[in-house]
Homo-oligomer: A and B are copies of this chain.
Amino acid sequence: MLSKKTQYAFHALIYLAENVDKGPILISEIAAEKSISIKFLENILLELKNAGILGSKKGKGGGYYLMRTPKEIPLARIIRLLDGPIALLPCVSLNYYERCENCKDEAICGLHEVMSKVRDATLKLLENKSLKDILTRD
């Protein structure tokens, strides 16, 4: 399951995307609008900023805004940033690989093979679907 952090990030990004025309948006506005603890959200938006996904402006009239178009922000990027690995096993993760202790040879490990397929199927969607694809259809 995705952590609350990642879920909140998605909701915040959706809100930002749906209000691009309004310029920088206050953390407090997003928090209120999406019922997220303002301080928790603050940390999340900071991480998104440090990753180059969001930009911000301080002082009066400040707030957060998207640094890229929704189409340019793959869902996998957000998940990896805030939740870490997408794969179900460390030995099958592309970005957070770790060798498995209990298995002698990955090449003949059946678990490895199946979980690689799961990862591929998941990534095919999450890498290709972007913020644009999760905006409310109206």
Contact = CB atoms under 8 A, between A and B. Distances in A.
B1 A138 contact: no
Contacts of A111: 10, 14, 134
Interface stretch (A21-29, A48-56, A58-66, A82-90): A82-90
Interface centre among A89, A90, A121 (most CB of B within 10 A): A121
Interface in A87-138: 87-90, 101-102, 108-111, 113-114, 117-118, 121-122, 124-126, 129, 133-138
Interface of A: 1-2, 7, 10-11, 14, 34-36, 75, 84-85, 87-90, 101-102, 108-111, 113-114, 117-118, 121-122, 124-126, 129, 133-138
29 contacts: A1-B84, A1-B87, A1-B89, A2-B88, A2-B89, A7-B89, A7-B102, A10-B111, A14-B110, A35-B101, A36-B102, A75-B114, A108-B136, A108-B137, A108-B138, A109-B134, A110-B134, A110-B135, A110-B136, A110-B137, A111-B134, A113-B134, A114-B125, A114-B126, A114-B129, A114-B133, A118-B122, A118-B126, A121-B124
